[in-house]
Structure 1
Amino acid sequence: PPAARRAAPVPAGAQSPVPGVVDVVTGNGAFYRIDTALVVPQVDPATWRLRVHGMVEREVTLALDELLAEDLVEAHVTLACVSNPVGGDLVGTALWLGLPVRALLERAGPLPGADMVLSTSADGFTASTPLPVLLDDRDALLAVGMNGDPLPAAHGFPVRMVVPGLFGYVSATKWLTDLEVTRFADREAYWTARGWSAEGPVKTASRIEVPRRGAVVAAGDVGVGGTAWAQHRGITGVEVQVDDGPWEAATLADEISVDTWRQWSWTWAAEPGRHVLRVRAADPDGVQTGRRADVVPDGATGWHEVDVEVRG
């Protein structure tokens, strides 16, 4: 169905000018997929139902045709996986179409004391999302469309959750069937029970996409580019360092929104030899940490770097 509120057009300057940097809007076929389903669930849209229950004033059940008849909205949102390593590619941006989650939760009426929504997939996967995040003004959606197409089966058809600012393991439940309003003290989600943190806010990250690690380039001006993200906070700056030299400010591409990644570019006066390039980003709260941390329990940290050989 058409959106009652269309997303703003992607700015013409949102794509980095450096050839080889990924598309600023990720195609459905290129969008990463991480979930626990060994076989993609095939959900019958005619019989699909979404139940909202738990600590609510009234239970709500929604059929797909009822959801599609609601005032749906479009939003560009970047999703990231908590298992993405520094410099990794388990992140992508798409144009989503869906019903704001808060509209359905407000209909159910969360009770005082509730602080979490436990979402459940058709295959039994669960995720714990902080209730305030689903009730504020961000575009947390019950998504039915992706980049102008019906939601693909591999990405959660008929309905999935999309929540800006949180890692997918606590927010991006695919093949969604159930929303239980509850408390973190009372319920535990799939990955939380396996040692991962309960709330999963996205960490500020950046990566160098051009040149690639191990690349050989000619001396002189070399285009360097990549992408940075700090969903629901926004990227305010990116800097690049060569070897142990000073940090140099990169040029930021235009921002789609604070809920999406932001691309950048920088021209390097490359001199012959072997060099290491590093990148770091900043958000309104400060500069991305250089401290190296593994993905467990709440996401990797550290500056991405690539080694490059320059030939004169």
Structure 2
Amino acid sequence: MKRFTAVLATAALASAATVRADEPLKVVFQGGRTVPIEALEFKGGQFVVTVAQEGLTVGQAVPAASADHIFGDKPEAVNKGVGLMLLDDPVKALGALEPQLVSQKVTAAVPGNFWVETARAAILAYANMGNSSKVEALGKELSDATPEAGQDPVVGLAKVLLMPAATKVDAKVAAFNEFINDSTPTDVAAYASYFKGAALLKGKKDAEALEAYSVVTCLYPTGNSILNGAAEMASAQFLSNQKRRDEAVTLLNAAIRDAHNSPVADEAKKRLESLK
């Protein structure tokens, strides 16, 4: 009987998790009222109801300042897009990110939104493609959505990625260093250190690259879990090349945990298998 009860409990928990995952993201307003983001649009600094809700009619305006936070799970496509961007596949990354830029835009000014993270990743993906016009256009959208912060620093970081391929490594490193500080948003600083590591690798400065990747996880661990996993995987490759297998295995396992349910975790699993 105890075993049967445990099975039922497990099934119930799994069912509850499924229900939550399927719940639409909602804007939580002051006072506790929640409204699915699909039932809102943002116009003239206000939320406008597009689908009638309990106590709200179509066309009713709700002040933006009354939005408290976002409730719900991050869309899987965001992590997928971030992972693909970090694996240097910007076209597929944008295939995942661009629909989220549209669906999440209404939440852009609400604390806890996923649109800003999505926009920053998309800007970096455009930069990796060499598409400066898209970087500028989306950068303006991002800055307009968060006017109190001015131009988002990810735009400046993207411009570093857009530097000509012939730019000397030392010049790129110096440019990346401008964004690795406590005044830069944590995820942008972490991205800067990650791409600094990649630039150092291309410049045959492997030990310095390892240090840059370590900065991501040691100084900016709250920046982005997928980014943490990518940095750990890159560090593992360096250690593997140095015949430091045990350390590489440890880092790959950490990457799988940190970047779970993303292309980075999938790639880390493949690399772990190759070390066995």
TM-score (norm 1): 0.25
TM-score (norm 2): 0.27
Q: Give the structure with the higher percent helix.
A: 2
Q: Give the structure with the higher percent strand.
A: 1
Bigger relative contact order, structure 1 or 2 (CA pairs below 8 A, ≥6 apart) = 1
